[in-house]
Amino acid sequence: MALSRKIGFVGTGAITDAMVRGLLTEPAAVSYVMVSQRSADISAKLSADFPTVIVSGDNQAIVDQCDTVVLAIRPQIAEEVIRPLRFRDGQSVISVVAATSRSALLDWIGADVRLSQAIPLPFVGRRKGVTAVYPPDTDTAAIFDVLGKAVECETKTEYDLLAAASALMATYFGIMQTTAAWLAENGLPEEKGRAYLAPLFSGLAETALLAGKDVEFLEMSHEFATKGGLNEQVLHDFNEDGGSRSLVLALDRVFARIQG
């Protein structure tokens, strides 16, 4: 999908790097993007890898020359970077600034912009990301659909819930590491465990994607848990030993933290 809009990034960290790479991977979705010179290493590498990346040492120039501005700044310095900038009424602004309220962002921006908030994950660099967007916005969703898939949230609560769910990423890899360590302790070389587990989990994720939205995860769980079989045993032990309850409690706590 081609995007005609000029997109600029204020802030050049890991997420900016991933988004730019996703947008400019052939076939490129945009003709060019502008990025802040800071961080110098990332902006220089993007410019070297993509001739259509324009590096600017002036954030105001990015705001002036782009239809869509992505704010990708650390929350600790967001206000001091955003407040001096002069945005245009009606301009599209996408904030990927973590843990920052919409009301605070609008106050700092000081113009009647079309503000969206988004939670892009590193997979957008491979156009495999799923990105929560709030509030629904056709143009913002189009950008993240290029980078994988956009999930538009009707309410802030929906958006916060998906933010809580995204906090499971480290746990996912933690489960894989715990399993790989168990395999190694019982005699399987660790590299063989990793070589087996990564495609196993990838295949399960692909199965869930191909099943579509009308198939419940519980239904798939039953399909993989033969009556009296090994999968059923592990699922039973996991639940009986408090695994599911611990997961729900962790999600409750992180959701409360997100909502402040």
Report the b/e string of 173-210 with b at 16+ CB within 10 A.
eeebeebbeebeeeeeeeeebeeebeeeeeeeeeeeee
Check the annotation: does 75 bind a ligand.
Answer: yes
Check the annotation: does 14 bind a ligand.
Answer: no
Check the annotation: does 74 bind a ligand.
Answer: yes
Check the annotation: does 72 bind a ligand.
Answer: yes
> What whole-number distance in Å separates Cα of residue 95 and Cα of residue 74?
11
**Beta-carbon neighbour count of residue 9 at 10 Å?**
30
Is residue 117 within 8 A of residue 99, CB to CB? The reply is no
> What whole-number distance in Å separates Cα of residue 132 and Cα of residue 121?
10
Sheet with strand 53-56: strands edge to edge = 53-56, 33-36, 7-10, 68-71, 92-95, 114-119, 129-134, 148-152
Is residue 119 within 8 A of residue 95, CB to CB? The reply is no
Report the b/e string of 112-123 with b at 16+ CB within 10 A.
ebebbbbbbbeb
Q: Work out the burial of residue 6: count CB atoms within 10 Å of its CB; fewer than 13 is exposed, 13-18 middle, 19 or more buried.
A: middle
Check the annotation: does 73 bind a ligand.
Answer: yes
| Omega before 122 within 30 of 0, i.e. cis | no
Residue 70: closest CA among 27, 25, 26, 18: 18
Q: Are strands 92-95 and 114-119 parallel, antiparallel or unpaired?
A: parallel
> What whole-number distance in Å separates Cα of residue 18 and Cα of residue 41?
14
Annotated binding residues: 59, 72-75
Residue list, annotated binding site for NADP(+):
72-75
The annotation places the binding site for NADPH at 59
